[in-house]
């Protein structure tokens, strides 16, 4: 009689892990699909946010005056300031659909990981903010005469910077979604937290526009990447506890 192998009880273990991974990926894809459908239905709101950001850049140019050198010098800061102000409008309303008829509670009762809901919302917000940032660049070029030929690095900085806004912004938007003064409370909580990401984004964008003779750009991009990695992982872990409370 042949003796059973010691590895037989463990033969059924490996297929379990791909099944769990497929379940998590399926939940993330479903959450992303829901978010993209919601954003498509509310696309007029995105246009209103873009007009608000472009108007902010116009007002900032009036504050500086006709000094072309000063406009170009401060163009990166004005770009990210306009994007920051516009992001509060986008993030504050990102949970509006889930709050109607207590839909968020129903989503949490589904047999899926709450982190899939968070990352679906955060990725959708990130893409919307990145599209907004790319759309504001031509406005900045026209108003501040701050053109650059290094478009790939500028696009990379916009993607990294908006990722730094989206990750904590999505978490704090969930925390303040049931508050009456969420439009006021969200900036008060979010702005102090994203100072490192905002500073790195402004400095990196300024170096791309004005030039980088001292090769400082890699350091600022590394800081921005580290900020994104920390908060995208940390906020995903905290989301389940935040929405439950």
Which residues in 109-226 belong to E strands, given as ranges? Answer: none
| Residue numbers in the chain where pLDDT is lower than 50 | 1, 4, 6-14, 16-17
- Render pLDDT for 122-142 as a digit per residue (tens, 0 to 9): 998 999 999 999 999 999 999
Cα–Cα distance, 174 to 239 (Å, whole number) = 8
> String of b and e for 126-151 (b: at least 16 CB within 10 Å)?
bbbbbebbebbbebbeebbebeeeee
Q: Are 133 and 83 in contact (CB under 8 A)?
A: yes
Question: What is the spatial distance between Cα 22 and Cα 167, in angstroms, rounded to a whole number?
Answer: 24
The token duo for 211 is: 């030039």
Residue-level pLDDT at 153 = 93
pLDDT in tens, 184-209: 888 888 899 999 999 999 999 999 99
Domain boundaries, the chain: 23-244
Residue 162's pLDDT is 95
Are 101 and 118 within 8 A, CB to CB? no
> Which secondary structure element, helix H or strand E, spans residue 16, and what is its range?
helix 16-41
């Amino acid at each position: 009689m042949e003796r059973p192998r010691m590895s037989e009880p463990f033969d059924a273990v490996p297929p379990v892990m791909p099944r769990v991974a497929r379940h998590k990926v399926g939940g993330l894809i479903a959450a992303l699909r829901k978010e993209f459908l919601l954003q498509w239905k509310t696309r007029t709101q995105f246009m209103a946010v873009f007009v608000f950001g472009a108007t902010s850049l116009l007002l900032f140019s009036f504050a500086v005056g006709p000094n072309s050198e000063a406009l170009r010098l401060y163009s990166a800061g004005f770009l990210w300031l306009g994007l920051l102000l516009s992001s509060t409008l986008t993030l504050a309303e990102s949970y509006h659909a889930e709050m109607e008829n207590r839909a968020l509670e129903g989503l949490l009762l589904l047999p899926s990981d709450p982190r899939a809901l968070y990352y679906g919302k955060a990725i959708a917000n990130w893409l919307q903010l990145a599209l907004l940032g790319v759309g504001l660049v031509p406005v900045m070029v026209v108003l501040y005469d701050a053109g650059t030929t290094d478009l790939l690095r500028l696009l990379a900085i916009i993607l990294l910077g908006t990722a730094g806004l989206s990750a904590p912004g999505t978490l704090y938007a969930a925390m303040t979604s049931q508050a009456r003064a969420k439009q006021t409370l969200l900036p008060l909580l979010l702005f102090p937290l994203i100072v490192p990401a905002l500073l790195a984004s402004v400095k990196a964008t300024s170096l791309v526009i004005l030039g980088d003779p001292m090769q400082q750009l890699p350091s600022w991009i590394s800081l921005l990447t580290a900020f994104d990695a920390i908060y995208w992982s940390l906020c995903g872990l905290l989301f389940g506890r935040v929405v439950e409370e």
